[in-house]
Amino acid sequence: MKHELEYIGNKVVNMHQELAGNLEKIMDDDYTNSLVNAGMPKEDRTEFRAELIKYLGESLFKGSEAMLPAVEDWGRRVSDFTIRYNVKLSDALRAVSFYRRVIWDAVTRELESRRFAPITMLDVSKIVDPLLDKVSAVIGNVYEEHNDRLMKVAYSALEELSVPVVPVAPGIAAVPIVGEIDTHRAQLITEIVLKEGTNLELDFVILDISGVPMIDTMVSDQIFQILKALSLIGIKAIITGIRPEVAQTIGNLGLDYKGVTTRATLQQALAELGFKQVFSPEK
């Protein structure tokens, strides 16, 4: 039986380029056209396919364990390749089934021509199928990691949009904060305000927290950390928008806002900084 597997394995290895060409023929037109439309070079596709077929052939006389590292590495590389050309995960996984078919076709021909025992087919399956299953698992993992990275980038961009630094005059900017403040978001606010404060050469930053639904000990501490960071680079902060119910909560919690410049509204803060409302004369 070992001799039969070795014979078939060597046959697959010697024919791996031809079998890679056969793979292209048995794939459905929709799948092939999608790769062509994506601009994926045929030479690169064929090279990847021939490489895996060769590994599968070698596994029949070297053993699946010996070929597992090479197969896993192939799975990662081909995943990066297909992602680059925007191939969907479902299509990438569907392609694995074609490898199974082309190997079976080659094995069947050898069984018929060499009159090998039918159980040889089962032995081939026990070696090849787990390797192809591993390829599918690796492809799925790589795509998941890629999607996670995209989600993090998108979430990070969305978070930055949630902390707008709005210049209102040379040296003055307003930062309207909407939503809850946790440790992560407080750090994000600090980083963005410090960065923009330096870029815009700000002297004053008005933090409007009228859109923050709740102020407790933790949130208050986060706000103080933001104010402290601003003061370290010479930016004076003014807090506006503390609603009556929030002010009552601050008082009940015994939170100390002494030394912090606060104003009821953004308009009051701007007026203190020299802004005046100008009315157009009526016609």
pLDDT in tens, 190-235: 888 899 999 999 999 999 988 888 777 787 778 888 888 888 999 9
Dihedral of CA 227/231/232/234: which sign?
A: positive
Same domain flag for 10 and 116: yes
Range of the domain at 106: 2-159
280: in domain? no
Residue 274 has what pLDDT?
A: 82
Q: Is the pLDDT of residue 255 over 70?
A: no
Across 120-124, 154-158, 243-247, least confident range: 154-158
Q: Is the pLDDT of residue 161 over 80?
A: no
Is pLDDT larger for residue 100 or for residue 182? 100
Q: Is the pLDDT of residue 114 over 90?
A: no
CA 223 to chain centre: 30
What distance in Å separates the CA atoms of residue 102 and residue 113, rounded to the nearest whole number? 17
Q: Is the pLDDT of residue 74 over 90?
A: yes
Q: Select from 125, 159, 193 the last residue of a domain.
A: 159
DSSP readout, 233-251?
TT-EEEEE---HHHHHHHH
Q: Is the pLDDT of residue 147 over 80?
A: yes
Kindly state the average pLDDT of the residues 242-260. 72
In the chain, the percentage of residues whose pLDDT exceeds 90 is 34
Kindly state the average pLDDT of the residues 277-282. 54
228: in domain? yes
Q: Is the pLDDT of residue 1 over 70?
A: no
Residue 283 has what pLDDT?
A: 47
Confidence of residue 127 (pLDDT cuts 50, 70, 90): very high
Confidence of residue 272 (pLDDT cuts 50, 70, 90): confident
Instruction: Provide the CATH number for the domain around residue 21.
Output: 1.10.490
- CB within 8 A of 80, min separation 6: which ones? 142
Task: Tell me the pairing of strands 204-211 and 236-240.
Answer: parallel
Kindly state the average pLDDT of the residues 76-86. 93
Same domain flag for 176 and 220: yes
Q: Phi and psi (nearest 5°) for 282?
A: -70, 140
Instruction: Provide the CATH number for the domain around residue 181.
Output: 3.30.750.24
What distance in Å separates the CA atoms of residue 199 and residue 75, rounded to the nearest whole number? 45
Task: Return the beta strands (E) in 136-241 as ranges.
Answer: 166-169, 172-178, 204-211, 236-240
The pTM of the full predicted model, rounded to 2 decimals, is: 0.62
Q: Is 41 helix (H, G, I), strand (E, B) or coil?
A: coil
- Mean pLDDT of the residues in the chain: 85
What distance in Å separates the CA atoms of residue 60 and residue 74, rounded to the nearest whole number? 18
Residue 134 has what pLDDT?
A: 96
What distance in Å separates the CA atoms of residue 175 and residue 237, rounded to the nearest whole number? 10
279: in domain? no
What distance in Å separates the CA atoms of residue 153 and residue 145, rounded to the nearest whole number? 12
Q: Is the pLDDT of residue 78 over 80?
A: yes
What distance in Å separates the CA atoms of residue 50 and residue 35, rounded to the nearest whole number? 17
Same domain flag for 211 and 122: no
Kindly state the average pLDDT of the residues 44-63. 94
Tally of structural domains, the chain: 2
Q: Is the pLDDT of residue 109 over 70?
A: yes
88: in domain? yes
Highest mean pLDDT among 27-36, 120-129, 136-145: 136-145
Q: For residue 281, what are its two tokens?
A: 């004369």
- CB within 8 A of 77, min separation 6: which ones? 48
